[in-house]
Amino acid sequence: MLIIYFITIPIVILQYGRNRIYTDISDIPTYTVAIVFGAGLKTDGTPNDMLKDRLDTASELYYEGKVESFLLSGDNSDTEYNEPQAMYDYLVYTKDIPYEDVVRDFAGLRTYDTCARAKNIWGIDKAILISQGYHLSRAIFTCNELGVSSTGYSATKYDYSGEIYYKGREILAIHKALLDIYVIHPEYIGGEPEIDFKD
């Protein structure tokens, strides 16, 4: 019975997310905010390939008139490692997104934290999520269950190095997400928002 549960639950969550992921940019309505999840930095502090693709996708949605602003959520738990700032710098200085439309969330240590903070700190009720396809279903499920009505748009551009590992790890991450949402309710870093996003 436990084996059936372990196998079935990820399939259900993956399908839940896929039903809420846009595959054609022309079908996407306008969103007040898109949430972009961190994905790692290179040794020089710039976005790695996965994160760069997420930011390029975010820029595409902005210039197509599909999103009006961004919440860039990532890890800044170490003074030498700052995902949100690297994401901000790329969108503002490389992609020419107006700085007033880009907000940094420095405490998005993991997907649960990003979704919980989006709702409870930033006041976001509705968003489109930008990440790679392997991660989007869990992100959409988590944000929806935490009160942010969410859809997604995949930033996957090609097969990434180590992607098989990430996809395999995602099965365990889905089970951990269920525990966090329904059982553990872990604490996350609080704080005051720079702005309130309005739908």
Cα distance between residue 68 and residue 63, in whole Å: 9
pLDDT at 198: 59
Q: Would you give per-residue pLDDT tens digits along the chain (199 residues)? A: 777 767 888 899 999 999 999 999 999 999 999 999 999 999 999 999 999 999 999 999 999 999 999 999 999 988 889 999 999 999 999 999 999 999 999 999 999 999 999 999 999 999 999 999 999 999 999 999 999 999 999 999 887 777 777 788 888 999 999 999 999 999 999 888 877 675 5
Which CATH architecture best describes the domain 2-184? 3-Layer(aba) Sandwich (3.40)
Cα distance between residue 115 and residue 143, in whole Å: 5
Please report which residue ranges of the chain form alpha helices under DSSP H. 2-18, 49-63, 83-89, 111-120, 133-145, 163-179
> Could you tell me the CA-to-CA distances from 6 to 40, 43, 151 in Å, in that order?
28, 36, 25
Q: Nearest 5°: CA angle at 116, between 114 and 121?
A: 95
- pTM as predicted: 0.94
pLDDT at 3: 77
Tokens of 49: 């390939």
Domain boundaries, the chain: 2-184
